[in-house]
Chains A and B, each alone.
Chain A
Amino acid sequence: MAGKIPIAKTYKLFIDGAFPRSESGRTFSVNNSEGELIANVSQASRKDFREAVRAARSAQSPWASRTAYNRGQILYRVAEMLESRKPEFLELLKSIGVNNRVATREIEDSIQRLVWYAGWSDKYSQLLGSVNPVSGPYFNFTVPEPTGVVGIIAPTEPAMLGFISRIAPAIVSGNTVVVVSEAQSSLTSVTIAEVLVTSDVPAGVVNILTGDQTDLLPWMVGHLDVNAVDISGISPKTDLTHLEEVASNVKRVVSRSVDEESLELISDFLEMKTVWHPIGR
């Protein structure tokens, strides 16, 4: 058809289930492997981060109080939705320079990983929790509870698998997350957001800020309402002295390799609560 107008997608942030532009109005450009412009992407500011944390906080308690089974089903649903959008992700990964074979593998692994974590939703607490012997007329239980709001610096490479690998172990147990996604990886992150909104993931459980991690990291570690930070995707250019600020409210700091897939990764974002319960007669 002659004169067809190209319709390019606007890549925006993902906060509280909606796709707003950055409050700052800033954008950054993402080029393909040939150096041509693919997209202008919203660049999140500290105020966008503040809004994202607010959304994550209000979503956290309802998300954690869903049944483990339900959270597992929703994660599984995300995998289903990814499955049906494989070609789109393949194109996207190829455009940022991943070759066909590697990209196909990465998408497959991402889906498998989601299903793997979905299966854990109603099993991790049996393995991590315990009934403890005590010398007194008490039942003594230790039960895992979600840490709360988790700030994640997503790995830039592999873009898709890195993102999925970091959010899945956090949200499966009832945490909510604010993810900072940089540079080329921001395209897949925003596209995953489109998958999340159609997968019954409640608004605010996953919030995605595309932008510069050096801008946002100081606000993330300093924010008193963020309970843990995952710096798996931190880049060498980022000033690590900021991390000292996690002491302000004793945040958990987590850093993992993208290749890992284990129960331990779920327990990174869990707090152990021990309860003494009198034995009645």
Chain B
Amino acid sequence: MKMPTSNITFGKTGSSIKVIPVDEVSLEARAASLATRSIKTSSKKAALHLTIRCIDLTTLEGADTPEKVASLCQKAKRPDPSNHDVPSVAAVCVYPEMVHHAVEATRNSKVKVASVAGAFPSGLSTIEARTADISDAVKRGADEIDIVLNRSAFLSGDEQRAFEEIVASKDACGEAHLKVILEVGELGSYDKIRQASMLAMAAGADFIKTSTGKIPQASSLPRVLCMAEAVRDFAYQTNISVGIKAAGGIRTAKQAWHYLVVIGETLGSEWLNPEMFRIGASGLLNDVLLQLNRLDSGSYSGPDYVTVD
């Protein structure tokens, strides 16, 4: 049987992107098999360091305070103050209101500041309000902007509007990197995840991101594999390399390794760096530090030996 393909035409320019349907069974089987890949002890330290370098250390709580953000930034810069080998994380991710505090606290370090913007987490306000929110976050000094896909428009068939809103958001970003959150848990099927990925990339996203972390159905290995395959297809078709950010529900070093394996096997080692791959998490960093302690000391560590966030 011939595989049915659909061409989705986005935008005023009429540029056309081919979207291939997803084979759900094979996708899940492949993700499951990649998750059984073992990492040898000799490679563990490198994998743990890479994980830390790819983390977007995140706090997106209504109860966030400038002080909490400042202490998060300290942790981002020096995750383990007792060990100079441990690298700093890629970025801190905060609400726009907290951006300038984060910028202040990360000055003179390589840690970038990412801000969610554009009526996070629903994306349901007027596009004018959303782009104003983005410009504001950029003005406050954010290096990266995480916006949400308008799932309401996308799922009701108005892909064009969802597309144009991302284009407008990209304009509002200026120099800042744009990450588009698909909220895969709300999309309902792998086909939709793939379409949404293609749409976001065609609209100019620098990164596509799985989830907001605000709904229980968040990132999962098959979903990220599905997005990685979309990124690969997009690169074949357009020669543009787009990054991936997995977020939501990633709490253990082991889970993070599985993501590294999926990205490495699907997109190659060019994607295994903080420029092309990120993990959005808050609790993950502590678990990675515990695993590093375990490697160094030989005995199992415990939560008493890392900071309480």
> Which residues of A come within 8 Å of B, CB atoms?
50, 53, 57, 219, 222-226, 245, 248-249
Structural contact, B298 and A224, CB atoms closer than 8 A: no
> Which residues of B come within 8 Å of A, CB atoms?
298-305
A232 to B303, CA, bound (A): 27
Checking A219, A224, A245 against B302 with a beta-carbon cut-off of 8 angstroms, the contacting residue is A224
Structural contact, A225 and B298, CB atoms closer than 8 A: no
Please give, as numbers and ranges, the residues of chain A lying within 8 Å of B305 by CB-CB distance. Answer: 224
Structural contact, A53 and B299, CB atoms closer than 8 A: no
18 examples of A-B residue contacts, CB within 8 angstroms? A53-B300, A53-B302, A57-B302, A57-B303, A219-B299, A222-B298, A223-B302, A224-B299, A224-B300, A224-B301, A224-B304, A224-B305, A225-B300, A225-B301, A225-B302, A225-B303, A226-B302, A249-B304
A131 to B162, CA, bound (A): 67
> What is the minimal beta-carbon distance from B83 to any residue of chain A, in angstroms?
16
> What is the minimal beta-carbon distance from B292 to any residue of chain A, in angstroms?
13
Please give, as numbers and ranges, the residues of chain B lying within 8 Å of A222 by CB-CB distance. Answer: 298-300
Please give, as numbers and ranges, the residues of chain A lying within 8 Å of B298 by CB-CB distance. Answer: 222
Q: Return the chain B residue nearest A53 by Cβ.
A: B300
> What is the minimal beta-carbon distance from A208 to any residue of chain B, in angstroms?
19
Checking B300, B303, B304 against A219 with a beta-carbon cut-off of 8 angstroms, the contacting residue is B300
A148 to B23, CA, bound (A): 48
Structural contact, A223 and B303, CB atoms closer than 8 A: no
A245 to B299, CA, bound (A): 10
Please give, as numbers and ranges, the residues of chain B lying within 8 Å of A224 by CB-CB distance. Answer: 299-302, 304-305
Please give, as numbers and ranges, the residues of chain B lying within 8 Å of A249 by CB-CB distance. Answer: 302, 304
Please give, as numbers and ranges, the residues of chain A lying within 8 Å of B300 by CB-CB distance. Answer: 50, 53, 219, 222-225
A225 to B302, CA, bound (A): 4
A50 to B304, CA, bound (A): 15
- A57-B303, A222-B299, A223-B299 given. 16 additional CB < 8 A pairs? A50-B300, A53-B300, A53-B302, A219-B299, A222-B300, A224-B300, A224-B301, A224-B302, A224-B304, A225-B300, A225-B301, A225-B302, A225-B303, A226-B302, A248-B299, A249-B304
> What is the minimal beta-carbon distance from B94 to any residue of chain A, in angstroms?
28
Q: Return the chain B residue nearest A225 by Cβ.
A: B302
Q: Return the chain A residue nearest B305 by Cβ.
A: A224
A226 to B304, CA, bound (A): 11
Q: Return the chain A residue nearest B299 by Cβ.
A: A222
> What is the minimal beta-carbon distance from A143 to any residue of chain B, in angstroms?
21
Q: Return the chain B residue nearest A218 by Cβ.
A: B299
A223 to B302, CA, bound (A): 8
Q: Return the chain A residue nearest B298 by Cβ.
A: A222
A49 to B304, CA, bound (A): 18
Please give, as numbers and ranges, the residues of chain A lying within 8 Å of B304 by CB-CB distance. Answer: 224-225, 249
> What is the minimal beta-carbon distance from B1 to any residue of chain A, in angstroms?
41
Q: Return the chain A residue nearest B301 by Cβ.
A: A224
A219 to B299, CA, bound (A): 7
A245 to B304, CA, bound (A): 17
> What is the minimal beta-carbon distance from B286 to any residue of chain A, in angstroms?
13
Q: Return the chain B residue nearest A245 by Cβ.
A: B299
Please give, as numbers and ranges, the residues of chain A lying within 8 Å of B303 by CB-CB distance. Answer: 57, 225
